[in-house]
Amino acid sequence: MNDVSSSGGPTGVQLRHINVTVRYAAATKPFVDSQALAAESVGHLKSRVLEHFKLQDSPPGEGKSYSLALGEDLLTNPNATLGSLVTHGDHLKLSLVEQFTQG
Amino acid sequence: MATELEKVLLQQHLTEVLALPESCRWRLEKDDSVLLGVTVVLHSSKAPQDLYKARLSWTDFSKPVSLKFLNMSTDVDTDAFAWPVFFGSRPTAYVCCVPYTAEGHVLHPDWAGLPQTRYEEPDNPLLYALLTLQHALDTTYEGRYHA
């Protein structure tokens, strides 16, 4: 599994809006925000997404923990901006994944 | 034991899943050999040529899914070579030992009582099982099991 850790693009670019969709496997309908700021951080978006799905992130061993992912890559840098993750157009499709243990 | 309502729900869940763009990756069919289940042919994005057939079945939708990989020709669920090696899979025991499977909870009864591993019924158990399994295959697939 790769980590995505980019930290943002030119400031002017960050003022634009992008259309963010976050798929969560346990919910039929995804989180959608068509007016997300490109300057918003991954960490801030994750907070909004968890609140939307009524979830709480817990430290390892104490409860369920979640990560945002872009394709197969977990977004491990909470300071990365959404704008830095968009490769073309103004759409960003992410998923919220639960971190499992194995027995 | 699956109720008539759950059989109707499975059909609704299946219809919902087949309408999603994600489903174009799967060959998904209702499995009439079990009371409440489907079969799906899928692959990891790491190796699209490696096809696997999985049976997803439930005793009821409030419980985790039973996950078995089947021999593509015979449908037997006791062929270790039909299993992919990925996060949680134990091909020679024919189980995937993770908190989203029934087999994981059978092997770890304590998981039901722990906040990090207990199963919480999703909106659409079929979609949840498919997306969770697909993500695990895409991110942790190591290859087909071989002795």
| Nearest CB to B99 within list A62, A69, A100 | A100
Bridge partners (DSSP) of residue A69 are A74, A95
In the three-class reduction of DSSP (H, G, I as helix; E, B as strand; rest coil), residue B12 is classed as: helix
Domain residue ranges of chain A, discontinuous segments joined by +: 3-98
How far apart CA B34 and CA B108 sit, in angstroms, is: 24
Structure tokens at B142: 């190591």
Q: What is the ipTM of this complex?
A: 0.86
Q: What's the pLDDT tens digit per position in A8-56?
A: 444 555 578 999 999 999 999 999 999 999 999 999 999 999 999 999 9
Spell out which residues of chain B touch residue A103, defining contact as CB-CB under 8 Å.
88, 97-98, 104, 107-108, 111
**Contact predicate B125/B64, CB 8 Å:** no
Position B4 scores a pLDDT of: 87
> What percent of chain B is modeled with pLDDT above 70?
99
Question: What is the pTM assigned to this prediction?
Answer: 0.90
- Which range, of A88-92, B38-42, B123-127, averages the lowest pLDDT? A88-92
How far apart CA B135 and CA B124 sit, in angstroms, is: 17
**Residue A66 scores a pLDDT above 80:** yes
DSSP line for B50-62: EEEEEEEE-SSTT
| Nearest CB to A102 within list B45, B87, B132 | B87
Calculate the average pLDDT of chain B: 95
Q: Which residue of A has its CA nearest to B127?
A: A25
Domains and CATH numbers, chain B: 4-140 (3.10.110.10)
Q: Does domain A3-98 have CATH number 3.10.20.90?
A: yes
